[in-house]
Amino acid sequence: MTHEDYILKILRQRKGLDKNDSSKDEDFEFLSCNDIFYEVTTWEGLINYDETIKKWIKDIYDIDLDNV
């Protein structure tokens, strides 16, 4: 799976890299969607809200992101 550039920039920064340092991008390809969602929500200041947001999406849209 190839991630969007803005997602890669967040993942890089979460791991202490410069947002343009692609040296570890291969490692990010092995992350689960749940792990990526957690990292992105945490980066955006939604700390520990990843599961809550997924529940809202399930309850509102009837889409279970854990089974996508």
pLDDT tens digits along 17-65: 999 999 999 999 999 999 999 999 999 999 999 999 999 999 999 999 9
Given a cut of 80, whether residue 1 has pLDDT beyond it is: no
Which domain covers residue 41, as residue numbers?
5-67
Do 49 and 41 form a contact (C-beta atoms < 8 A)? yes
Residue 50, number of CB atoms within 10 A of its CB: 19
Interatomic CA distance for residues 31 and 27, integer angstroms: 7
Query: Residue 2: which pLDDT band, with cuts at 50, 70 and 90?
Result: confident
Per-residue tokens: 26: 């291969």
Number of domains in the chain: 1
> Position 42: which residue type?
T
